[in-house]
């Protein structure tokens, strides 16, 4: 079904909706609705343009809601008709959250439902949508972060549907367990935090002061989020973005106000922290974050929480007690978040069932990737906080013909922050112009 088109500066947009099987192994069973936004340059709406489908990072985030031709979109519209797809369970596609999941039954049944929301199902969704919108012609996939994981799955499972693959900050390890992912992640996170403190040395004491207050009071934020010390430390997730350190600095600099009852965290600070920590808009990020690494019959078992114990420097209480700098943490999900966050509390048992699950199917086919014939290129960001550079380069070498571009010019958000430059470079690589 196609809705009427509308315009923003430099782009004509059309809302599109598709129905696909909930479980692709049961194509005649329940169907779900997916949403995508088609974008084309003005004056070219009636041209027979090649398609580019964009897969957002996450898991759990809908496609970018651009205003006009922001970031990379303007460059893409020079060559393509673009489909900004909300992957299943994200944005306007088949909502899966604390409000809807109880319709699926108990926690175990909810976990069974969510097991159908990984990269393998997303790729099969894409293949059905591709046949509908392109008439069967292959299209180009642009995958950011987790979208790159999906693109790698695409190369493994349905390369016949691909004209080219462009990946930004999203080459996954083909065989690492979640434990391996986080064991590599914590040292990177520490480097990012140390670099932040070197740039903003005043933040060392500010973070300690806020951390000590939080440890003593455990305030409840305006949205009902219980701010524990570990939750405060998790604000370091933003340090993987180009402007993340600046945003963290500005957040910390005005945390307190004086009141008749003494010094307290300001309403403004609490409101910002509530927005930064809440999963209300993207609960699948918490529910499926470790499941995106699950393969081979092993449970993830709260990998980030277990592996954190191997890095005692992240123990906030000990750091405060001994006068050390408080280390922020990064992209990881922990059981305590399902106690702190009101958007996740009703899903605590569901998350536990996913953590215990062992029947995860393989996501990648090394043999097929080694024989790849699809033009492919990947931006690999040096010391990316979210995706290990070593893992990414090992995978790049395992995909025949993939051309990696390793750069330290950008952080993980280079596709957004770099405007047209990142996409332009990747297109040149797959076309043999660079």
Shared domain for 94 and 63, answered yes or no, is: yes
Locate 144 and state its tokens.
């950011």
Distance CA 35, CA 38 (A): 10
Which of 356, 386, 420 lies at the terminal end of a domain, its last residue?
356
Kindly calculate the radius of gyration of the chain based on its CA atoms and give it in whole angstroms.
Answer: 22
Shared domain for 230 and 343, answered yes or no, is: yes
pLDDT digits (tens, 9 = 90+) for 133-144: 999 999 999 999
Shared domain for 305 and 335, answered yes or no, is: yes
Average pLDDT, the chain: 96
Q: What residues make up the domain containing 282?
A: 178-356
- pLDDT, one tens digit for every residue, the chain (434 residues): 447 799 999 999 999 999 999 999 999 999 999 999 999 999 898 999 999 999 999 999 999 999 999 999 999 999 999 999 999 999 999 999 999 999 999 999 999 999 999 999 999 999 999 999 999 999 999 999 999 999 999 999 999 999 999 999 999 999 999 999 999 999 999 999 999 999 999 999 999 999 999 999 999 999 999 999 999 999 999 999 999 999 999 999 999 999 999 999 999 999 999 999 999 999 999 999 999 999 988 999 999 999 999 999 999 999 999 999 999 998 899 999 999 999 999 999 999 999 999 999 999 999 999 999 999 999 999 999 999 999 999 999 999 999 999 999 999 999 999 989 999 999 999 999 98
Q: Which of 355, 364, 353 is nearest to 299 (CA)?
A: 355
278 tagged catalytic: no
Q: Which of 353, 314, 312, 347 is nearest to 332 (CA)?
A: 314
Q: What is the pTM for the complete model shown?
A: 0.96
Q: Which of 28, 46, 48, 359 is catalytic?
A: 359
Shared domain for 339 and 395, answered yes or no, is: no
Which of 356, 377, 404 lies at the terminal end of a domain, its last residue?
356
Residue with tokens 């129905």: 19
Q: What is the CATH number of the domain that holds 162?
A: 3.40.50.1820
Distance CA 256, CA 254 (A): 6
Shared domain for 308 and 386, answered yes or no, is: no
**Taken in order 422, 423, 429, 434, is the CA torsion positive or negative?**
negative
DSSP state of 16: E
Centre a 10 Å sphere on the Cβ of residue 378 and count the other Cβ atoms it contains: 27
Measured N-to-C along each axis, helices 267-277 and 244-253 cross at an angle, to the nearest 10 degrees, of: 150
33: three-class secondary structure by DSSP: strand
Shared domain for 285 and 411, answered yes or no, is: no
Distance CA 172, CA 388 (A): 8
Shared domain for 170 and 218, answered yes or no, is: no
Locate 56 and state its tokens.
């957002």
pLDDT digits (tens, 9 = 90+) for 359-393: 999 999 999 999 999 999 999 999 999 999 999 99
Shared domain for 118 and 33, answered yes or no, is: yes
Shared domain for 298 and 167, answered yes or no, is: no
Query: How many domains, the chain?
Result: 2
Which of 356, 389, 411 lies at the terminal end of a domain, its last residue?
356
Shared domain for 288 and 386, answered yes or no, is: no
Q: Which of 93, 145, 173, 278 is catalytic?
A: 145
234 tagged catalytic: no
Shared domain for 60 and 169, answered yes or no, is: yes
Centre a 10 Å sphere on the Cβ of residue 275 and count the other Cβ atoms it contains: 14
Distance CA 208, CA 321 (A): 10
Half-sphere exposure of 326 (CA within 13 A, CB side): 28
Locate 410 and state its tokens.
């950008």
Shared domain for 343 and 387, answered yes or no, is: no
Locate 239 and state its tokens.
């340090």
113 tagged catalytic: no
């Amino acid at each position: 079904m196609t809705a009427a088109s509308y315009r923003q500066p430099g782009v004509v947009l059309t809302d599109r909706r598709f129905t696909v099987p909930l479980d692709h192994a049961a194509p005649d069973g329940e169907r779900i609705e997916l949403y995508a936004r088609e974008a084309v340059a003005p004056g070219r709406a009636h041209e027979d343009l090649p398609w580019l489908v964009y897969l957002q990072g996450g898991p759990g985030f809908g496609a970018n809601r651009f205003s006009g031709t922001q970031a990379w979109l303007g460059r893409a519209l020079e060559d393509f008709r673009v489909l900004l797809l909300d992957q299943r369970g994200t944005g306007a596609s088949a909502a899966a959250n604390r409000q809807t999941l109880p319709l699926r039954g108990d926690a175990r049944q909810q976990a069974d439902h969510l097991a159908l929301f990984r990269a393998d199902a997303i790729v099969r969704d894409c293949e059905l949508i591709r046949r509908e919108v392109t008439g069967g012609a292959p299209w180009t996939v642009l995958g950011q972060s987790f979208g790159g994981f999906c693109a790698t799955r695409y190369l493994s499972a349905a390369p016949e549907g691909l004209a080219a693959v462009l990946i930004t900050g999203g080459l996954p390890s083909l065989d690492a367990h979640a434990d391996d992912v986080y064991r590599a992640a914590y040292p990177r996170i520490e480097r990012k935090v140390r670099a932040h403190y070197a740039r903003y040395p005043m933040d060392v004491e500010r973070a300690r002061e806020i951390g000590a207050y939080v440890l003593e009071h455990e305030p409840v934020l305006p949205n009902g989020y219980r701010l524990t010390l570990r939750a405060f430390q998790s604000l370091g997730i933003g340090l993987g973005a180009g402007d993340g350190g600046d945003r963290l600095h500005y957040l910390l600099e005005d945390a307190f106000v004086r009141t008749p009852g003494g010094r307290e965290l300001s309403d403004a600070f609490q409101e910002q922290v509530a927005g930064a920590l809440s999963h209300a808009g993207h609960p699948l990020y918490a529910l499926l974050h470790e499941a995106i690494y699950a393969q081979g019959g092993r449970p993830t078992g709260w990998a980030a929480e277990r592996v954190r114990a191997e890095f005692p420097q992240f123990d906030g209480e000990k750091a405060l007690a001994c006068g050390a700098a408080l280390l922020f943490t990064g992209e990881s999900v922990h059981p305590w978040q399902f106690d702190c966050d009101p958007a996740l509390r009703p899903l605590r048992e569901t998350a536990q069932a996913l953590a215990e699950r062992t029947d995860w199917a393989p996501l990648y086919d090394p043999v097929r990737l080694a024989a790849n014939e699809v033009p492919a290129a990947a931006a690999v960001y040096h010391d990316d906080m979210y995706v290990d550079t070593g893992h990414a380069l090992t995978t790049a070498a395992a995909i025949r013909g993939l051309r990696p571009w390793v750069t330290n010019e950008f952080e993980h958000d280079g596709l957004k922050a770099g405007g047209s430059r990142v996409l332009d470079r990747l297109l040149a690589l797959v076309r043999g112009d660079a």
